Amino acid sequence: MNKPEINNEQSIYRQSNNIVNVHGCMRYKCFHCGKSFSVFLEIGVEDDGRNGRPRQPCPMFIACECGEMMQDISGYLPLPSIREVLPNMKYFAYDNSKKEYACGIISIYKKG
Ligand SMILES: [Zn+2]
């Protein structure tokens, strides 16, 4: 029998219906189950403030659906131009809470 999944999409990613603009991405990989994917970066996250918002970092590790952790394996990868997120894309949302140590929030874009 397979190990039950501790986490699922709903518990890991904040579900968002808001279209946001992204400027780059980072690749994450889980060395436990082998899963990997790109997580896009909303304006202000990991962009050194060049797009007009104070810069926020994003986490080096995120939870994997298998219950282990995924880690950044690419560092920052710029997109050729700023674009909108597409449905089911994962991205780090800019944290508008104004907290002192705000950092990108792992999110997934669900249309409408
Ligand atoms: Zn995994």
Task: Please indicate, yes or no, if residue 72 is contained in any of the structural domains.
Answer: yes
From first to last of its 112 residues, the chain has per-residue pLDDT tens of 555 556 688 889 999 998 999 999 999 999 999 999 999 999 999 999 888 899 999 999 999 999 999 999 999 999 999 999 999 999 999 999 989 899 999 999 998 7
Strand partners, 22: 42, 83
Pairing between strand 21-30 and 77-84? antiparallel
62 lies in which domain range?
Answer: 22-97
- Give the whole-angstrom CA distance, residue 82 versus residue 70: 26
Task: Please indicate, yes or no, if residue 87 is contained in any of the structural domains.
Answer: yes
Question: How many angstroms does the Cα of residue 94 sit away from the middle of ligand 1?
Answer: 25
Q: With a threshold of 0.75, does the pTM exceed it? A: yes
The structural domain count of the chain equals 1
Task: Please indicate, yes or no, if residue 3 is contained in any of the structural domains.
Answer: no
Task: Please indicate, yes or no, if residue 1 is contained in any of the structural domains.
Answer: no
Question: How many angstroms does the Cα of residue 69 sit away from the middle of ligand 1?
Answer: 6
Task: Please indicate, yes or no, if residue 6 is contained in any of the structural domains.
Answer: no
Task: Please indicate, yes or no, if residue 48 is contained in any of the structural domains.
Answer: yes
Task: Please indicate, yes or no, if residue 58 is contained in any of the structural domains.
Answer: yes
pLDDT at 25: 97
Question: How many angstroms does the Cα of residue 28 sit away from the middle of ligand 1?
Answer: 10
- Give the whole-angstrom CA distance, residue 82 versus residue 20: 10
